Amino acid sequence: MDFSFTEEQNMLHESIERFVQTDYSFDDRQKNAASDLGYDAGNWNTFAELGWLGVPFSEADGGFGGGAVESSLMMEQFGHGLVIEPYLATVVLAGGAIKHGGSDAQKAKLLPGIIDGSTQAALAYAEPQARFNLADVTTTATADGDGYVLNGYKAVVLNGPAAQMLVVSARTSGEQRDQDGITLFVVDTKAAGVSRRDYPTVDAFRASEVTLEGVKVDADSVVGEVGKGYAALEQAIDEGILAVGSEAVGCMEKLYKETVEYCRQREQFGQAIGKFQVLQHRMVDMFMEHEQSKSLMFMAAMRMDEGYGTEAQKAISAFKVQIGKSGKFVGQNAVQLHGGMGMTEELNIGHYFKRLTIIDTLFGNADFHLKRFGAL
Amino acid sequence: MTETQWAQQAQAFIAEHWPDPQQLPQPSSYHLASLRWYAALAECGWSVPHWPLAQGGQHWPKQQLYQWQMLCQQAQTPPLNTLAMSVVAPLLMSHGSAQQQAYWLAEIADFAAHWALALLEPVNAKTALPTRLQQGDNRLVLVGEKRAMADGLLASTELARDALWPSRLLCLALDSTDTWTACALGADSPGLSMAPVANARGRWFHVEFDSVAVADADILPLRGDGLLAALADPAAGQDTILPSASSHGIAQQLKLLREDLLVVPHEDSADLLQQLSAAEVALQGLQALEIRAMAPRSAQLPEPLPMSVLQLKAQALQEQIGTLQLASFGYYALPQAAGLSGHNEGPIDPRGHAARDTALQTSEALAALAASGYGWDPRDLLARHWLGLGSRTNRHEG
C-alpha cells in the first residue's frame, strides 16, 4: 500500500486548501449558517464551477473521475474550514446512492444536476426505531399499477430543507430488518404526500423529518433493482463515513494547531502555558490522535479505491472507531486548554468540537463500528 | 536484485541463523542464541544497515529497512535496535571525536561490546549527590553511584557474571565546574563495581564508582546543556535510527490471543473479544502510521512522520494488549514464563499452548520497548521539535 499522491490529487488538494484559507472565513460561515438557506449559494456555485461537485463521479457520468482518495482530500480541507455547504448530503450520499445503484439512464438523468450545482439532494434512510441499522426499514413501497405508493417516516434527513430530490429507502418485501427487500426510490420533494419538519442541527447544519403519505412514484423512480437497494445504500453510507471522517481529520488538525498556538501565547505564572510539561504532553496527545486518524483516513480511502468489499468495510469501520475516540479527545482538550474562551460562541473552537461530536454519531458511533469491525 | 529476491535472501538468512524461540527451553539458551544471531548479523554486514556506508552501514532505503524489520519480527528475532545503536551511536556520530567514532562505532557495529547507559542516579544513593568527575592524583576520576540500564536481551542478570553482562558504560557526571559531562568506561575498570537490580526483565544494574580513572580520550567533547539535549534526542536530524516496524510483532501477538480466547469460551469471552477488536483497530492505526512513515513526501505529507509517533503508538498498543492478555489468561497469568520453561516440559495450561507463548511474547515485546525508551518520554521530544513548544519547565526550575 502506497500513501503517495498523484499530481492531479495534489492539485485538487491545493485548490481547495487555497479556497478554504482565503475565501471561507469563520465569520462568513457563521453568517451563512444563520441565513434562511443555511449555507451560501454563491459558494455552492463556485464548487460547481471548479468541478468539485463532480469529483466522485466517473467521467462517463460527467464527473472528474475521482475516487475515495480525492473525496477524502476534499473533505479534509472542508473540515479545516468547517464548511457548511451540503456537499456530504447532496454529492456523497444522494449522489453516491444513484452512482452505485442507478441504471445508466438514471445516472444520465439525475447526476448532471448534482454536478452542475442545480440540484440539491438528500438521502432519506434513517428511521426513528432503526438506530444505526440501515436494514431496519418500516417505510413501505407498495406496487400500484406501473408505479409504487410510499408510506412512512424518515428521520434526520440531512439537507432535507434545501433538497429538491430525495433518495428514499423503502421496504418492498421481507421483514423489518431484512437486508433483502429494500428498494431505493427517487422522490421529488414537491410530490403530493411529502411533508417536512425542518430544523437546524447542533453543528449548524440543517435537517428534516420527512413524512411520506401515499406518495405516488413511477417505475422509473426505482434506483436499480427492486428489493436490491441495500448494497448501494451501504456503499453510499460507507463513502459518507469516509467523507465525514476525513472532515473530522481536518477539524482535529485545526483544533490542535490552534491550541498549540494559543498555549504559546497565553501567559500564566510569568510564562507561556505551553512551557508546562503536563500541557505539552496533552497537546502531543492531541497531535497523536490527529496523526493516527489521518493515517487511518489514508488507509480507508485506499482500501475503498482498491475495491469495495470486506477489507474496505473493515478499514472504514476502523477509521470510524478512531474518529469517534480521537474527535472526542481532541475536542475536549482544545476546549479545556483554551479555558473559558473555549466555551464561547465567538471562538471557533467550540464549533469544531460540536461538529466532531455529531460526526461520531453520524452513520454509527464508535461502539457500533467496533462491533461491525469485529463481526466482519 | 528485485525486492522479492532480496526478501527471499533475507528470509533464508533468518532461517539459517535464528531458531524458533519456542524451541529454546531455557532463558540462557535464548541469550546464547541471541549472541550467535548478533554475531551472524555483524559477520554479513547487516548489523547496522541503516548507517552511512562510511561508518560501516549499508545505507539501505527506509522501505528495505522496514521490510527487514518485518521479516525479523515475524521470526521473533532479538531486537535489531540496541541501546548502543539507538543512543550511543547517534551521539557519537554527531558529537564524538574522530578517535571515539573510529573505535566505538566499529565496536558497536560488530556487537563487540554490550553497552549500558549509566545516566540516572539511584533514588537511595548513599551520597545523595550526583556522580562527579573530579581531579584525583594526577588524573580525572569518577566518584558516585548510578543505576545503569542495559539492553535486555544482550545483558542477562539471570546468569553468572560472564560475557552477557554489559562490558561498557556511558556515564553522565558533573565535572568540577558543575557542567554535565559524559564519558565511556570499561565495565572492568578498577574501582567500578556493578550488581544487578531485580526487576521484571533484569536489565538494570547498580553501579558504584570508587575513584574510577577516566582518560581524556574517553570523555565526549560535547558538554553541558548541549549534552543533555543530545542525550534526550540522540538521533535529532539524523537518519541513524531504524524506522520502527512494531506492527508485525504485535499482529502476531493478537493472532495468538484471538486463538487463545476461542479455545475455551467462557462467560467473559464476548467482552474480551470486543476488547480484542479494539486492539485490532489500534493495530490498523499503527500499520497505517508505519506506511505513512515510509511514504514519499507530497503536498499532503510534506514532512516525514517522526519516529517518536510510532514509538508512542506502539507503547500504547502494547499496554492495551498487556492488559488484555492478563485479563484473558485468568489465573494462568500468574506463572512466570522463565520459571515454567525451567521446571517443566511443555505448557502447563490445560487449555492449550497459546497462553504461555503469548506471555513470553509480551515479555519480549516489552523488552524491545524498554531498550528504545531509556528514561525520556517521547512526548517531550514531540513537544519540543514537532509542536515547537520549546523546552519544558521542570518543577525545580519553577
Q: Is the pLDDT assigned to residue B334 strictly greater than 80?
A: no
Provide the chain A residues 19-78 that lie in CB contact (below 8 A) with chain B.
73
CB-nearest to A284 from B277, B301, B379 is B379
d(CA A340, CA A236): 40
**Lookup: cell for A4:** 503517495
Report yes or no: A310 at the B interface, CB cutoff 8 Å.
no
Q: Is the pLDDT assigned to residue B376 strictly greater than 50?
A: yes
Distance from CA of A281 to the nearest CA of B (A): 6
> Which site among B315, B387, B392, B394 would you substitute to test the A interface, given the most A Cβ atoms closer than 10 Å to its Cβ?
B387
Among the residue ranges A66-75, A164-173, B244-253, the one predicted with the least confidence is B244-253
pLDDT in tens, B93-137: 889 999 999 999 988 888 888 888 888 777 655 555 688 999 988
With contact defined as beta carbons under 8 Å apart, do B168 and B127 qualify? no
Helices assigned H by DSSP within chain B: 3-17, 27-44, 62-74, 83, 89-95, 98-100, 106-109, 224-232, 247-263, 269-294, 307-329, 337-343, 354-372, 378-381
pLDDT at site A77: 96
Tell me what ipTM this predicted complex has: 0.84
Q: How many CA atoms lie within 13 A of B231 on its CB side?
A: 23
Most confident of A162-171, A338-347, B132-141, B366-375: A162-171
Q: Is the pLDDT assigned to residue B356 strictly greater than 60?
A: no
Residue showing cell 520502527: B244
pLDDT in tens, B312-331: 888 788 778 878 877 887 77
Count other Cβ atoms within 10 Å, centred on residue A376: 16
Most confident of A46-60, B68-82, B115-129: A46-60
- Looking at domain B115-232, which CATH architecture does it have? Beta Barrel (2.40)
Provide the chain B residues 287-306 that lie in CB contact (below 8 A) with chain A.
287-289, 291-292, 295-296, 298-301, 305
Q: Which residues of B touch A306 (CB under 8 A)?
A: none
Q: How many CA atoms lie within 13 A of A130 on its CB side?
A: 24
Residue A123 main-chain phi, psi, to 5 deg: -105, 115
CB contact under 8 A, A287 and B386: yes
B170, B167, B213, B169: which is closest to B190 by C-alpha?
Answer: B213
pLDDT in tens, A101-148: 999 999 999 999 999 999 999 999 999 999 999 999 999 999 999 999
Report yes or no: B262 at the A interface, CB cutoff 8 Å.
no
Q: How many CA atoms lie within 13 A of B47 on its CB side?
A: 26
Among the residue ranges A158-172, A332-346, B25-39, B170-184, the one predicted with the least confidence is B25-39
The pLDDT-based confidence of B162 (bands split at 50, 70, 90) is: low
Q: Is the pLDDT assigned to residue B368 strictly greater than 60?
A: no
What is the pLDDT of chain A when averaged over all its residues? Answer: 95
pLDDT at site B397: 39
Residue showing cell 498498543: B317
B66, B95, B98: which is closest to B237 by C-alpha?
Answer: B95
The pLDDT-based confidence of B235 (bands split at 50, 70, 90) is: low
CB contact under 8 A, B299 and A14: yes
Q: Where in chain B is the domain with CATH 2.40.110.10?
A: 115-232
CB-nearest to A3 from B292, B309, B386 is B292
Residues in contact with B362: Cβ distance below 8 Å, sequence separation at least 6, in sequence order: B253, B318, B321, B322, B325
pLDDT at site B375: 47
Chains A, B: CB contacts within 8 A come to 120
pTM equals: 0.82
B308, closest residue in chain A (CA to CA): A288
A10, closest residue in chain B (CA to CA): B299
CB contact under 8 A, B291 and A287: no
With contact defined as beta carbons under 8 Å apart, do B194 and B156 qualify? no
pLDDT at site B336: 61
Domains of chain A: 7-119 (1.10.540.10), 122-227 (2.40.110.10), 231-375 (1.20.140.10)
Distance from CA of B384 to the nearest CA of A (A): 9
Say which DSSP state A221 is in.
Answer: G
d(CA A169, CA A139): 7
CB contact under 8 A, B309 and A288: yes
The pLDDT-based confidence of B308 (bands split at 50, 70, 90) is: confident
> Which site among B277, B292, B315 would you substitute to test the A interface, given the most A Cβ atoms closer than 10 Å to its Cβ?
B277
Q: Is the pLDDT assigned to residue B354 strictly greater than 50?
A: no
CB contact under 8 A, B292 and A295: yes
